[in-house]
A = this chain, B = another copy of it.
């Protein structure tokens, strides 16, 4: 699944910016460390489905909307 974490991180970053959140906002809201949030967006870590839901909740979007389509990575 090479590239999945990166594609997911990019998608989270894109939607975060569209909705006007900072990394700090999302990190705080999803109870994760600010630097870990940066690592998620850079695709350096493989988050759990639970963390996906928590980030989606803070961003006010559906968790499925954060998932990159299979042909985009």
Residues on A lying within 8 angstroms of B by beta carbon are: 1, 4-5, 8, 46-50, 52-54, 62-64, 67, 70
* CB of A34, distance to nearest CB on chain B (Å): 21
- The residues of B that contact A63 with a CB separation of less than 8 Å are 67, 70
- The residues of B that contact A49 with a CB separation of less than 8 Å are 4-5, 8, 46-49, 52, 67
The complex places the Cα of A34 from the Cα of B26 at a distance, in Å, of 36
- The residues of B that contact A46 with a CB separation of less than 8 Å are 48-50
Q: List 13 A-B contacts (CB under 8 A).
A: A1-B50, A1-B53, A1-B54, A8-B49, A46-B49, A47-B49, A48-B48, A49-B49, A49-B67, A53-B70, A62-B70, A63-B67, A67-B67
